[in-house]
Structure 1
Amino acid sequence: MEMNDTELSGIEQSGTELSGIEMSGIELRDTQLRGLELRDTPLCGIELRGTQLSGIELRSIQLCGIELRGTQLCGIELRAHS
């Protein structure tokens, strides 16, 4: 799955595992993400506004150009390839 220049608004996502996803130019506004697991996923040009992220697990993730505005991060785990 490839998501480019996508705007997601008012999305509530819980208990999801995404693997090998390429996400670029994503804009999340007023979004709640909980219990999300990302593996081997490059994240580029991500903009988070008014977004709550909790219980997120990131593994082997490339992060670049990430912008966080009014965003709450809790229980975030960043981990190298295990």
Structure 2
Amino acid sequence: MSLTITEDCIYCDICRPACPNRAISAGDELYVINPNLCTECVGHYDEPQCQLVCPAECIPRLPEFAETKEQLWEKYERISVEIVS
């Protein structure tokens, strides 16, 4: 997962319900993304929904933490099995 929420977050709560994996939660001063749950919307959408809806444009990709589409897909499959169980 290469997405992060920066200090520019305005704490508006638009990104949290947009996340199909429930990877975004409220932190003390800004929202945070759980890297174990974020698939960058692979398995659900073509683009990360949090980035599309964020009015502050504060959810960039961090190339140094990039995962391949295959890795994100494997995570999506794992998460899907855990939700069903």
The verdict on a shared fold, with TM-score over 0.5 as the criterion, is no
TM-score by length of 1: 0.28
TM-score by length of 2: 0.27
Higher relative contact order (CA closer than 8 Å, sequence separation 6+): 2
Higher Rg of the two aligned structures: 2
| Structure in which a larger fraction of residues adopt helix | 2
| Structure in which a larger fraction of residues adopt strand | 1
